Amino acid sequence: MTRQEICKILHDDVVFLRIGLQRATARFNATLNDIPSHLPHPDGGQRIRNAAIENAAALSKLRIALRRETDFILRGTVPKDIQ
């Protein structure tokens, strides 16, 4: 596999996960905005927690993808799942 092909795979992963984070953030914000009084009803608190967990997971995945891409660009480290 060429350097350019690896770069494309890693970059495409970053783009895909960035879109996932944007969607998770939008769902989190929509969940918060769905509670007009800002005092959630009993299941509202759980909905907020679930949306926050989803958002944090999406952010974590994006950080990993960015680290993989950066490590490859700066150090030439090819991730094991691509080798």
Q: Among 9-13, 45-49, 66-70, 75-79, name the one with the lowest average pLDDT.
A: 45-49
The answer to whether residue 80 sits within a structural domain is no
The answer to whether residue 83 sits within a structural domain is no
The answer to whether residue 25 sits within a structural domain is yes
The answer to whether residue 65 sits within a structural domain is yes
The answer to whether residue 35 sits within a structural domain is yes
Which domain, by its residues, includes 15? Answer: 3-75
The answer to whether residue 31 sits within a structural domain is yes
Alpha helix ranges (H) inside the chain:
3-33, 42-75
pLDDT tens digits, 32-60: 888 766 666 777 788 889 999 999 999 99
The answer to whether residue 81 sits within a structural domain is no
* Number of folded domains that form the chain: 1
The Cα 30–Cα 51 span in angstroms is 9
* 2: pLDDT strictly greater than 90: yes
Q: What is the pTM of this model?
A: 0.87
The Cα 17–Cα 30 span in angstroms is 20
Q: Rounded mean pLDDT of the chain?
A: 92
